[in-house]
Amino acid sequence: MRIDILTLFPEMFDSPLSASILKRAQDDGIVDIVLTNIRDFAADSYRKVDDKPYGGGPGMVMMPGPVFDCVEHVRELSLEKGRVILLTPQGRTFTQQKAGRLSKEKRLILIAGRYEGFDERIRIGLGAEQISIGDYVLNGGELAAMVIIDAVVRLLPGALGDEDSSKDDSFSQGLLEYPQYTRPEVFRGMKVPDILLSGDHKKIAQWRQQQALERTQKIRPDLLKDNKE
């Protein structure tokens, strides 16, 4: 997979992309992540990429010109056209299901907005989908882009080592994950449940399924309702 990130702050991505699974996935050629600075496509010598909203109101809006030019530039870097995604609180909320779908794409072009948002013609003209990562406001789409990249890349074949697995992750079966324990057997008076030491794999699987269900009922009952996309 190739992921292009279009942003005014490429330096924000340096450390998340250079550690752990995201680093290894790039080193192993599982994903190619390319950063491009939208400001490099500003038309004037002040490198202006935002302007006041027509109709008045606070803040600044991302201008269409630099974003279009930036997308057209990155499109020329690879034959795969790619799916354009705008990161904005106006988008549909990102979910594990969405991560799974995006992980099947050959190329993603993620555009992180700053200021009050994007000129609407960016969404219309690029046929872009809008994604939000939750009901709160961030200073820009950069952290949201990182969240999406992290969630998508770990689903790519080979991204997780043999000992890791994404199939038991919370949400992947529509439930929160069951409780996990490791050594020591007793910690500050708290004991590991006997069942996990029993060696009875069938009973352990049943216990985990039951725990996952109880947890989900208690903490995230919304996940059990039939309200998925």
Closest-by-Cβ residue to ligand 6GU is: 144
Q: How far is the CB of 62 from ligand 6GU (least distance, A)?
A: 11
The DSSP symbol for 185 reads: S
CB 95 within 8 A of CB 229: yes
Q: What is the DSSP string of 120-156?
A: HHHHHHHT-EEEESSSS--SSSHHHHHHHHHHHHTTS
Half-sphere exposure in the Cβ direction for 129 (13 Å, CA): 14
Characterize the bridge pairing of strands 50-51 and 61-62: antiparallel
Rounded to the nearest 10 degrees, how much is the dihedral formed by the CA atoms of 216, 220, 223, 226? Answer: 110
Which residues carry out catalysis?
89, 116, 154, 169
CB 52 within 8 A of CB 116: no
Q: Which residue, 194, 53, 55, 176, is CA-closest to 118?
A: 53
| Closer residue to ligand 6GU in complex, CB, 132/216 | 132
Cα 193 to Cα 49, 165, 187, 208, 213, distances in angstroms = 58, 23, 12, 11, 17
Q: How far is the CB of 139 from ligand 6GU (least distance, A)?
A: 6
Q: How far is the CB of 107 from ligand 6GU (least distance, A)?
A: 19
Cα separation, 152 vs 56, in Å, equals: 38
| Closer residue to ligand 6GU in complex, CB, 82/141 | 141
| Closer residue to ligand 6GU in complex, CB, 35/192 | 35
| Closer residue to ligand 6GU in complex, CB, 133/175 | 133
Tokens of 105: 């794409």
What is the contact surface with ligand 6GU in residues (CB under 6 A)?
87-89, 132-134, 136-138, 140-141, 144
| Closer residue to ligand 6GU in complex, CB, 87/176 | 87
Q: How far is the CB of 88 from ligand 6GU (least distance, A)?
A: 5
Q: How far is the CB of 57 from ligand 6GU (least distance, A)?
A: 17
